[in-house]
Structure 1
Amino acid sequence: MFKLKCKLLLLLLFRGAFSKVILAESKTRQGLLVAIKCIDKKLVKGKEESMQNEINVLSRLRHPNIVRLIETFEDKSNYYLVMDLVTGGELFDRIVAKGSYSERDASNLIRQVLDAVNYLHMNDIVHRDIKPENLLYQSPDPDSKIMISDFGLSKSVESDVMATACGTPGYVAPEVLAQQPYGKAVDVWSIGVIAYILLCGYPPFYDENDINLFAQIMRGEYEFDSPYWDEISESAKDFISHLMCVDPDHRYTCKEALAHPWISGDTASKKDIYTSVSEKLKKLTVRQQWKKAYHAAAAVRMLQQLRISRDEAHVIDNRQKNPPHAVDDSQLTTDSSKSNNETDQLKIVESDVKLKSPAT
């Protein structure tokens, strides 16, 4: 056990059903920003052992395309997961902002995702919630790599099958919806759905009614519609068909997908498909806006704009004031309209927190 000294910048990056993610700055490494996921113990009561087992597994994962779990600690109210801060934004948003885009770009993106998920599978971990919102660029740099995040539904598998229904509608595999035992192949299906969207800008399955949507998925009812797919290579279509095979026994593994010519060879076209794809992606992302969290990138930009320095920031001594977990949720707002002063959203707590070293 040791102590990590950090400033908790109480600026909300994300709020979910069971947790919230807050921006933090290291005191020992000036300028180093991290994300801290705060999980309310009351909301996960009875699942402590399972949660700790998953944390122990995830803390050992080290892959260039996986958001790293750096440390974990807890107090009487919360579990805290200290993670790499990624600031490059979500996958679809970056594509829309690019200005040019080709099959080759899509192939490179999917290769990175496959490589990371293959690493997970080799370590007997199934992510179970691969979706565009969980694919983030590490930085705003044009050549930034893609990162897989949010392992809240990930699972270590001691056998080849699991049974718990989970995932995100539209990206979940048929066998999960059919309530059949499933395994690592569910992640491959999700990657296939993402690859499909990357090449046309719209999802392979869509219906406002979830029952109808699930029926489409379970039957594997998708098409390479004309004219949207007319300029897409046959190799790309073949690749997607192998990933989105309804029968998981005949579906590609990550290793097989990585060996496909569209990924490992030169069959991915270099023709610019930006105009057709970006217009549809814009519409798709607008439909999903209500689900989006406050991005780390926006938070970092806000901090830069405010030019908050060590001397200017209001520092509260943890030994004299409230500890980090004693935070009024009213401070953690992403709605700037609630205040005329942007700085009202930001408080800083300087603290010495005892951490448990993750298993190695």
Structure 2
Amino acid sequence: MFQTLKNDFQICEEIGRGRFGTVYRCFSPATGESYACKSIDKNLLIDSTDRECLDKEPKILQLLSGNPNILHLYKVYEDDDFLHMVTDFCPNSDLYERVSSGSLSESAAAAILIQLVSAISYCHHMGVAHRDIKPDNVLFDSENRLKLADFGSAEWFAGCEGRMMSGVVGTPYYVAPEVLMGKEYNEKVDVWSVGVILYIMLSGVPPFYGETPTETFQAVLRGNLRFPTRNFRSVSSEAKDLLRKMICKDVSRRFSAEQVLSKLNFSDFHIPLF
């Protein structure tokens, strides 16, 4: 492992593993704090797209580091074979683990949602679309503060007014229909994904699903949003109205992240603010 990294940090236990590398907890004797170190093996990168994502992620994280709900990048170490990114350490269970055991109360879901939308609104203000928002990428630090992570699929859309993006990027259940249709799209794909997460937090089930990824994609493309009584009996009409505005197949009518944030700040249902 990169010697300069070892000089600055004590590398501790493995805490995660992905396609291209491993995440470790590391400890800084200088600060007395734990961090996460994402070590990516460049030899595992398959094509130019993978290499472009690798090059882009630390730059995007550095740009977005001013937001408290986005994973903070502290240091980058790189040699010919590896890229190491030292970030916030998030020891608490991620959102995937939290929703796997069932739905959340409306107030608990709202407390998570307002932090997540704050992060997305900031990304969009800075000209960045995340493009792969899912519960696995929503982490929580030692103070239970939400941290949006994994910007490997993120894309710039700033610098050119009305610039659209392309490419099928995302994860079944959470990807927006315009992405699956192969159309050009804008940053509102993130709002769709967050809407799906809100639906799952409130009901315990995804709004669109199938037995296979193909069946799931077909359900997403149909976009028939329903609120089964057995899952939504205790969910307020205000929350369901917000879901309709976020999981809206018509992009022109879908809320922006800023509109969602405004709705949350001035809504009728109780939201603990951070």
TM-score by structure 1 length? 0.67
Q: Shift of residue 88 of structure 1?
A: 1.4
Higher relative contact order (CA 8 A, sep 6+): 1
Give the match's secondary structure for 1:111.
Answer: helix
Give the match's secondary structure for 1:106.
Answer: helix
Structure 2 distance, partners of 1:56, 1:187, is: 20
Contact 2:14–2:24 (CA under 8 A) maintained in structure 1: yes
Q: Which has the larger radius of gyration?
A: 1
- The Cα offsets for residues 68-117 of structure 1, whole Å up to 9 and x where unpaired, read as 1111111231011111111111125346789x953122112111111110
Structure 2 alignment gaps of length 5 or more: none
Give the match's secondary structure for 1:39.
Answer: strand
Structure 1 distance, partners of 2:100, 2:181, is: 35
1:72 equivalent to 2:76? Answer: yes
Contact 2:174–2:196 (CA under 8 A) maintained in structure 1: yes
Give the match's secondary structure for 1:59.
Answer: helix
Contact 1:106–1:195 (CA under 8 A) maintained in structure 2: yes
- The Cα offsets for residues 280-326 of structure 1, whole Å up to 9 and x where unpaired, read as xxxxxxxxxxxxxxxxxxxxxxxxxxxxxxxxxxxxxxxxxxxxxxx
Structure 2 distance, partners of 1:266, 1:201, is: 23
Q: Shift of residue 51 of structure 1?
A: 3.5
2:176 to 173, 178, 194: 173
1:28 equivalent to 2:6? Answer: no
Q: Percent identity?
A: 33
Structure 2 distance, partners of 1:57, 1:101, is: 31
TM-score by structure 2 length? 0.87
- 2:239 aligned residue: 236
Letter in 1 for 2:212: N
2:116 to 93, 113, 118: 113
1:18 to 17, 20, 27: 20
- The Cα offsets for residues 103-137 of structure 1, whole Å up to 9 and x where unpaired, read as 12211211111111000000111111111111111
Give the match's secondary structure for 1:163.
Answer: coil
Letter in 2 for 1:12: E
Structure 1 distance, partners of 2:128, 2:79, is: 28
Give the match's secondary structure for 2:239.
Answer: helix
- The Cα offsets for residues 247-285 of structure 1, whole Å up to 9 and x where unpaired, read as 21221000111122xx22352269xxxxxxxxxxxxxxx
Query: For the structure 1 residues 27 and 96, does the alpha-carbon distance in structure 2 shift closer, same or farther, using more than 3 Å as the test?
Result: same
1:218 equivalent to 2:231? Answer: no
Contact 2:43–2:81 (CA under 8 A) maintained in structure 1: yes
Structure 2 distance, partners of 1:269, 1:173, is: 28
Query: For the structure 1 residues 223 and 71, does the alpha-carbon distance in structure 2 shift closer, same or farther, using more than 3 Å as the test?
Result: same
The size of the alignment, in residue pairs, is: 261
1:63 to 61, 67, 80: 67
Q: Shift of residue 57 of structure 1?
A: 2.9
Query: For the structure 1 residues 167 and 122, does the alpha-carbon distance in structure 2 shift closer, same or farther, using more than 3 Å as the test?
Result: same
- 1:264 aligned residue: 265
Contact 1:8–1:22 (CA under 8 A) maintained in structure 2: no
- 1:195 aligned residue: 198
User: What is the root-mean-square deviation of aligned Cα atoms in Å?
Assistant: 2.3
Give the match's secondary structure for 1:38.
Answer: strand
Query: For the structure 1 residues 209 and 33, does the alpha-carbon distance in structure 2 shift closer, same or farther, using more than 3 Å as the test?
Result: same
Structure 1 distance, partners of 2:224, 2:52, is: 40
Q: Shift of residue 218 of structure 1?
A: 0.9
Query: For the structure 1 residues 57 and 135, does the alpha-carbon distance in structure 2 shift closer, same or farther, using more than 3 Å as the test?
Result: closer
Contact 1:9–1:23 (CA under 8 A) maintained in structure 2: yes
Give the match's secondary structure for 1:168.
Answer: coil
Letter in 1 for 2:16: F
